[in-house]
Amino acid sequence: MRKLKIVAYILLGIITLLVAAGFGADQYIKSAEPMNRDRILKSAQYDGEKFVNAAPMPQQGLSFFPKMIRQQMFEKMQPSAPKLPIPVQTITPEQLANLPANETIFFKLGHSSLLLWIENEFWLIDPLFSDRASPFSFFGPKRFHPTPLSIADLPDIKGVILSHNHYDHLDKASIEALNAKVENFYMPLGVGASLAQWGVSADQIHEYDWHESVNVGALTLTATPSQHFSGRGLSDRNQSLWASWVIKSSQHNIYFSGDSGYFSGFKDIGTQYGPFDISFMETGAYNTLWPDVHMMPQETVQAFIDLKGSVLVPIHNSTFDLSVHAWFDPLEQVLKYSDEQNVKLLVPEMGDPINLNAIPELKTWWQELM
Ligand SMILES: [Zn+2]
Ligand SMILES: [Zn+2]
């Protein structure tokens, strides 16, 4: 059995290389012409060739890939996916049509995707409705559970907020299918070129550098720092920016971490934009091989404290297998450290409507599936 698995991984590695080489000249790999080149060149985050983090990152050597393959083969914790179905509450169009006015309600859709009802409009964050977080429909991490609703069942969307261009956050098929329903798209500098290639009109694409804000009705969106990287292919690494977001309404202040390693920026964001009523924090896909660009659960809790959060909602887990931890490990670990630090943790089921004016008690639904 073990031998079979090893052969499968080696084959998978060869297929990945062949596929990458084969697609070398096509849209998956080639970086698109940026829409705001002059603003990119002036950005404090751009070093003349690429976007960079606030703190210098150690360079990954060539030994990274053999280490990663070895880890996948020998150190992968099981179960990497749930054996029983993850509970998903279906969201119906009728339900969405009857949400209470002037309340703020969010629904987890899976991984880092959120549907938000705020200032009497619908918003999506990092929407991913496809079966895989991958450039390919037949290959790559496959979701554990269906989305609580389909794109067809969504009402008109005031705006889509994007954190960065990785496949598990920016999904081509989802953007193409959503386009007709969405008024505007908000994203970090450099991300818009992909959307434009996929048919989103230039006047719907709005790009921001860190600490730049935009008012949309009574909402203020601010792109804030994160410590991460970007790229969808072999030649576009760090050619677009990554960000976290602050979403401030007339009633609530919300933080969405995007993907990030732990860094001093959380404290600064807390001081400048906090406190937050709710913080959606990356908790999952961590790995000792990439400690700078994703947080360990203990760091997620510390980042939440640094930010001056009041309710912590872990995102980036329970939908895809993107590292070597068991699928439930992010939730078990974040629960442990939240308890230790007296942090209020909320892990809603997928599709469960959460009203920010009536935060429920924590339900540890995943423990029934462990
Ligand atoms: Zn990412
Ligand atoms: Zn991610």
Determine, yes or no, domain membership for 75.
yes
Strands across the sheet containing 278-282:
213-216, 219-224, 244-248, 253-256, 278-282, 312-315
Query: In this model, does residue 24 exceed pLDDT 60?
Result: no
Average confidence (pLDDT) over 20-38: 62
Q: Which ligand is nearest to the CA of 169?
A: 2
Q: Collapsing DSSP states into helix, strand and coil, what is residue 120?
A: coil
Displacement of CA 258 from its chain's centroid (Å): 5
For residue 154, which amino acid is it?
A: L
**Residue 61, pLDDT score:** 78
Q: How many domains is the chain partitioned into structurally?
A: 1
Average confidence (pLDDT) over 283-297: 95
β-strands 312-315, 253-256 pairing? unpaired
For residue 345, which amino acid is it?
A: L
Determine, yes or no, domain membership for 148.
yes
β-strands 121-125, 213-216 pairing? unpaired
Average confidence (pLDDT) over 34-56: 96
β-strands 105-110, 219-224 pairing? unpaired
Provide CB contacts within 8 A for 332, sequence distance 6+.
Answer: 366, 367, 370
Q: What is the pLDDT of residues 88-144, one digit of tens each?
A: 999 999 999 999 999 999 999 999 999 999 999 999 999 999 999 999 888 999 999
Residue 118 CA to ligand 1 center (angstroms) comes to 26
**Residue 49, domain extent:** 31-369
Query: What is the distance between the alpha carbons of residues 145 and 350, in angstroms, rounded to a whole number?
Result: 9
Determine, yes or no, domain membership for 4.
no
Query: What is the distance between the alpha carbons of residues 350 and 158, in angstroms, rounded to a whole number?
Result: 22
Query: In this model, does residue 13 exceed pLDDT 70?
Result: no
Average confidence (pLDDT) over 325-347: 98
Tokens of 195: 């959307």
Q: Which ligand is nearest to the CA of 113?
A: 2
Determine, yes or no, domain membership for 217.
yes
Determine, yes or no, domain membership for 18.
no
Determine, yes or no, domain membership for 48.
yes
Tokens of 92: 């119906």
Task: For 179, list phi and psi in degrees, rounded to 5.
Answer: -45, -45
| CATH number of the domain that residue 149 is part of | 3.60.15.10
Residue 228 CA to ligand 1 center (angstroms) comes to 7
Q: Which ligand is nearest to the CA of 315?
A: 2
Residue 60 CA to ligand 2 center (angstroms) comes to 18
Asked whether the beta carbons of 245 and 125 are under 8 A apart, the reply is yes
From residue 355, give the alpha-carbon distance in Å to each of 169, 191, 256: 24, 31, 17
Residue 229 CA to ligand 1 center (angstroms) comes to 7
Determine, yes or no, domain membership for 357.
yes
Q: How many CB atoms lie within 10 A of CB 57?
A: 14
User: For 178, which DSSP code?
Assistant: H
Residue 359 CA to ligand 1 center (angstroms) comes to 28
Determine, yes or no, domain membership for 2.
no
Q: What is the pLDDT of residues 307-335, one digit of tens each?
A: 999 999 999 999 999 999 999 999 999 99
Q: What is the pLDDT of residues 238-289, one digit of tens each?
A: 999 999 999 999 999 999 999 999 999 999 999 999 999 999 999 999 999 9
